[in-house]
Amino acid sequence: MIIRSRAPLRISFGGGGTDVPPYPEEKGGAVLSTTIDKYAYCTLVGRDDDSINVKSLDYDLVARYQINGELKYDGKLDLVKAAIRTMDVKTGFDLFLHSDSPPGSGLGTSSALVVALVGAFKQWLKLPLTDYDIAELAYRIERDEAGIKGGRQDQYAATFGGFNFIEFLGKTTIVNPLRIRQDTINELQYRLMICYTGGTRVSAGILDDQVTAYVEKKEKVVQALQEAKELAYRMKNSLLRGRINEFGLLLHDAWCCKKQFSGKITDDRIDELYELARQSGAIGGKLLGAGGGGYLLFLCEFDKWHIVAEKLEQAGGKIVGFAFDLSGMQSWEVSED
């Protein structure tokens, strides 16, 4: 039997950074996000021996391990190794992995891949895991076992799917699905745009700056994190009330706030693309993910979307089409025939 799973990538509108420890444990965090029709995929086929064969299209890697062998963390497929260790897999399997967007692009690709892995193992091993179990297990695999720094929002967004307001209260995470009117969702789909800036980044250094500044109680960063959380609540209210233009202005405020976390979040090229979009008809926007590269998100005036797109592509950006995904992580079985 073949097991497949997929987990959607996400767009974080506001509150990103308040899910990164130790802030949520001390102050409580909140993030507004949605998932889109870009995915991390996993195909798993069980074996009758102790061999593990992994092929990753994203990294152009083929690796072979033994279930009882030492799985060393060496920068190659560490998330797969961490998942095997954490989920205590006892028999061999073949695994194929790929995703619709490269890791480090700001769409939560790495976390979505871990969620897809957990989903595939859950299906294969017949584990009685709830969505909260899956998200928390993915968090432990990525952050605790593999030691990759970051927050908690991505694993929950990829698992639950859809428009969610996620609260981080100490060690407790609460996912609040939002009942947004369909006409509001349609209007967002019509007017939102994501633009690939042409580069990916490693977020750890940016997050180190943010965490260090917060721990040292640097006023600018502490205030920026508080403002980011407050903006997430305001953005949620704007969406629930269908106030799209207000939402776009709050996106801009969220971007101005986010840039206070670290001097590495933006650079001259990102700033130039952002200002070009604003001058061409974007009401507001922000860089997705921790910063440093990846995708820019914009909310445009309805009659200026095509102008913004044209200007950004002339400047070297790449407009990427997308639709919202409301289903979250999915896993299923396929007969070998």
Residue 154 catalytic?
A: yes
C-beta separation of 225 from 207 below 8 A? no
Q: Look over the chain and give the mean of its residue pLDDT values, rounded to a whole number.
A: 93
CA of residue 71 relative to chain centroid, distance: 26
pLDDT value at residue 91 = 92
pLDDT value at residue 255 = 96
Cβ within 8 Å of residue 334, ≥6 positions away: 1, 2, 3, 4
Nearest-angstrom CA–CA distance, 17 and 288? 11
Cis peptide before 128 (omega within 30 of 0): no
pLDDT tens per residue across span 233-245: 999 999 999 999 9
pLDDT value at residue 58 = 84
pLDDT tens per residue across span 113-167: 999 999 999 999 999 999 999 999 999 999 999 999 899 999 999 999 999 999 9
> Which domains are assigned to the chain?
2-179 (3.30.230.10), 182-324 (3.30.70.890)
Nearest-angstrom CA–CA distance, 9 and 101? 8
Nearest-angstrom CA–CA distance, 316 and 313? 5
Q: Which of 19, 100, 154, 209 is catalytic?
A: 154
Nearest-angstrom CA–CA distance, 324 and 31? 17
Give the 3-state secondary structure of residue 127.
Answer: coil
pLDDT at 183 over 80: yes
C-beta separation of 181 from 163 below 8 A? no
